[in-house]
Structure 1
Amino acid sequence: MALTEPVGPDDHVQGADDAPLTIVEYGDYQCSYCGQAYPIIKDLQREYGDQIRFCFRNFPIPEIHDQALSAAQTAEYAARGGRFWAAHDALYEHQDRLGNDYYTALVGELGLDESGLSTALDSDEFIGDIQHDINTGLRSGVNGTPAFFVNDEFFPGPFTDLPRLVAALVRG
């Protein structure tokens, strides 16, 4: 399987566009496996710095995780205020607190308008953006989370082997 839609300007990206290694994750904020993968990605970013570009795409699975979609909407709301990565990290670091009370408190901590979040959630303002991510994942063969692509190629996992793959690719 290969990534069908390359990383572009509308994606959530950390790292330089010319980094030799690009990791794309399709994730669900309530998925426990995504929560376990989160610190692995953070460690890779710390260890390899500007050699890695990391892209996160939403792939909530609300049939399994009742807070996945609203958590993704909260992250997208934060993105509009320039605070996507802070929200992304907080949602993974506090998976046990996911819910409307936490989302409201989080956006307040991020300095964003709390009532705006409520309006965005009620109106499903960010559903189109999230569905776009889901669709790109489906076209690339994603059927669960977390799903990783490394330099546009599907990484079959387990995600705990990502550090070994990244080390080998960086060494060349």
Structure 2
Amino acid sequence: MPSLHTPVGPPDGPRSRGGDDPLVAVVEYGDFECEYCARARPMMIHLLRRFGDRVRFVFRHFPVRSSHPHAQLAAEAAEVAASQGRFWPMHDLLFANPEALTPADLRCYAQAIGLDLALFDAALADRRYEQPVRAMLKDGLRSGVNATPTYFVAGQRYDGPITEASLSAAIQAALARAGLRG
């Protein structure tokens, strides 16, 4: 089973939520224009609530530009939001509106979540976060990601069905291996 090429660490901070000192990390490689990723959002919210501080959930960008032409720029917009401490509000808006990811849409979302628009505009114009997003995509490829969403539980790629029950069972098993029942 493929494992996570780059372990969860401080660079993931703005794109992570859950426990500060968790026993298990769950990493999602996702694409804001992917309908399957958008459909998985409620499941991930339920899992976060269920496992609380015992688990850390991390989002990493994997824009599939060949089929999702707006995914790269949406990921860059999310990184601009992360730089202003607002990754998760932007993340949630992008997944709520996967059909509306034009530059004008992204600017509206930035305004709606209270970003500094001058900084937002400048960062997107100079493509400040293009390379960091591409680096995450390359890291995903090295980890065996070939579709979105792809999950890693405790560093191992999760290849089961993308359902709340089955992903929850994988997290519980990882917690049990780490010494705590979920």
1:27-38 alignment to 2 at 5 Å? 27-38=30-41
Quote how far apart the aligned CAs of 1:168 are.
4.2
AA in 1 matched with 2:83: R
What CA RMSD, in Å, does the superposition of the two structures yield over aligned residues? 1.5
* Distance in 1 between residues matched to 2:143 and 2:99, nearest whole Å: 30
Equivalent residue for 1:88? 91
TM-score (normalizing by structure 1) = 0.93
Equivalent residue for 1:78? 81
Equivalent residue for 1:159? 162
* Distance in 1 between residues matched to 2:162 and 2:95, nearest whole Å: 16
Q: Deviations over 1:105-159 (max 9, x none)?
A: 1111121122432322222110111011112111111111111000000001321
Quote how far apart the aligned CAs of 1:169 are.
4.0
Higher mean displacement: 94-103 or 22-31: 94-103
* Distance in 2 between residues matched to 1:123 and 1:105, nearest whole Å: 19
Quote how far apart the aligned CAs of 1:7 are.
0.7
TM-score (normalizing by structure 2) = 0.88
Count of aligned positions: 172
AA in 2 matched with 1:5: T
* Distance in 1 between residues matched to 2:7 and 2:85, nearest whole Å: 22
Q: Which runs of 5+ in 1 are unaligned?
A: none
* Distance in 1 between residues matched to 2:43 and 2:172, nearest whole Å: 13
* Structure 1 SS opposite 2:115: coil
* Distance in 1 between residues matched to 2:144 and 2:174, nearest whole Å: 23
Q: Deviations over 1:65-107 (max 9, x none)?
A: 0110111011001011110111111111222322222211111
- Percent of pairs with identical residues: 40
Equivalent residue for 1:47? 50
- Is 1:132 the equivalent of 2:135? yes
